[in-house]
Amino acid sequence: MTIKQLQKQVDEWINEVGVRYFNETTNTLILVEEVGEFTRLMARKYGEQSFKNSEDEKNAEMYIEDELGDIVFVITCLANQMNIDIEKAFNKTMIKKSNRDIRRHKENPKLKAT
């Protein structure tokens, strides 16, 4: 699936099932909520926090995948309602980062292999 197809699929779903887009503020708050849910799982799976029950720990990777899917969905909603082409925005970001960081990471002693 291309990014354009992703944006089109989300737009079609919103118009057919979701009735309409939530406003930008609501979608931004939903995004923060979804990132928080993802972060909670990451802190338990890869960080130092423990899971509250064994079922959550057993299914952590599936839950993390679900949360990432939710994050992509909400970001796509925001892009669609603000008429942002995600592919174009991403390409601009890659150019910006490539120009800005051309030597930055390679020269960072903290990133040297040990």
Amino acid sitting at position 66? D
Contact 81, 93 (CB under 8 A): no
Percentage of the chain lying above the pLDDT 70 cut:
98
Which residues, 6+ apart, have CB-to-CB distance to 73 below 8 Å?
10
pLDDT of residue 114: 61
Low-confidence ranges of the chain (pLDDT < 70): 114
pLDDT of residue 53: 86
pTM: 0.88
Could you tell me the domains of the chain? 3-85 (1.10.287.1080)
| Per-residue three-class SS string for 15-61 | HHCCCCCCCHHHHHHHHHHHHHHHHHHHHHHCCCCCCCCHHHHHCHH
**Which tokens go with 42?**
């990451």
